[in-house]
């Protein structure tokens, strides 16, 4: 008989009570969780596919979290194509979508502070003050609601993975964290929900980020870190329409500048291309 896949009906929950009641009625051996802010692309879908391989049921959350935006305009223009997102989740047989409103996730005047040490003020933390407080706040809430056994995050937000890993460790959360490789367009651009804002010229100019990261990877030697970083900064800064925020060759565990003694090394970049802020990285 031919192999076939029985389609899964996507269950959609909008409240904490609905999803809690569902799992209380139907206990699941391994809950896999993919938290997103929607505008799903192949990167997100790759996380869900990996989660399906390692879990009994997969929950994807879509929630544009206001506390991690330090620019109100950025929050306002963040894409929210929910009907298209639901269709994509149905096509890949995701089990559950958790899609709450802001009022479901936050009470008035909530207070939150998580001590993540230096990670809060380096790289993304420096350019987006308060961002990781918002990230840890919402992820902690989502973990408490979904109660996942395994959570899947993309490598593109490398610093975010380190921050959430630290939160899991410090708060003794019973969640295994899995970092999944970056999904790229055929020309190398890292997939991002923000890419839809790029004009044709921006799109062409944005390729300098992935090309420079690849060049650093191909030429990487621990003794050449300063030289490689300087070349990368000059290359990106010379590209029209691209405003570099940082290019750092960092220790993969601390994100402090890498040295010859660093066991793992990652090159990370952030830049504004036109009006759109992009990040990318490569493991060295």
For the annotated binding site for (R)-pantoate, the residues are 68, 160
Q: DSSP secondary structure string, 137-156? A: HHHHHHHHHH--SEEEEEGG
- Distance, in Å, from the CA atom of 129 to the CA atom of 122, rounded to the nearest integer, reads 10
How many other C-beta atoms are found inside a 10 Å radius of the C-beta of residue 60? 29
Nearest to 228 by CA among 187, 257, 252: 257
Smallest Cα–Cα separation from 269: which of 223, 221, 228?
A: 228
CA angle (95, 44, 106) in 5-degree steps: 75
**Catalytic annotation, residues:** 44
Which residues are annotated as part of the binding site for ATP? 37-44, 154-157, 191-194
Query: 201 with 274: CB under 8 angstroms?
Result: yes
Residues 266, 250: contact at Cβ < 8 Å?
A: yes
Query: Which residues are annotated as part of the binding site?
Result: 37-44, 68, 154-157, 160, 191-194
């Amino acid at each position: 008989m031919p192999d076939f896949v029985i389609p899964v009906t996507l269950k959609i929950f909008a409240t904490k009570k609905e999803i809690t009641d569902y799992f209380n009625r139907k206990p699941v051996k391994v809950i896999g969780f993919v938290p997103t802010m929607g505008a799903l692309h192949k990167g997100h879908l790759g996380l869900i596919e990996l989660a399906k391989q390692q879990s009994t049921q997969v929950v994807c959350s879509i929630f544009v979290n206001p506390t991690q935006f330090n620019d109100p305009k950025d929050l306002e223009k963040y894409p929210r194509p929910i009907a298209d997102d639901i269709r994509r989740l149905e096509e890949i047989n995701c089990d559950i979508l958790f899609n709450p409103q802001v009022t479901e996730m936050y009470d008035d005047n909530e207070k939150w502070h998580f001590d993540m040490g230096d990670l809060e003020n380096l790289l993304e933390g420096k350019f987006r003050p308060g961002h990781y407080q918002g990230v840890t706040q919402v992820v902690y809430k989502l973990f408490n609601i979904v109660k996942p056994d395994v959570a899947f995050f993309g490598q593109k937000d490398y610093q975010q993975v380190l921050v959430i890993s630290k939160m899991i460790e410090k708060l003794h959360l019973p969640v295994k964290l899995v970092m999944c490789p970056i999904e790229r367009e055929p020309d190398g651009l890292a997939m991002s929900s923000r890419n839809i804002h790029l004009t044709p010229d921006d799109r062409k100019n944005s390729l300098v980020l992935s090309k420079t990261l690849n060049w650093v990877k191909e030429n990487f030697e621990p003794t050449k870190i300063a030289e490689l970083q300087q070349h990368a900064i000059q290359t990106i800064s010379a590209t029209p329409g691209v405003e570099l925020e940082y290019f750092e060759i960092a220790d993969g565990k601390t994100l402090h500048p890498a040295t010859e003694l660093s066991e793992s090394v990652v090159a990370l970049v952030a830049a504004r291309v036109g009006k759109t802020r992009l990040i990318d990285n490569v493991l060295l």
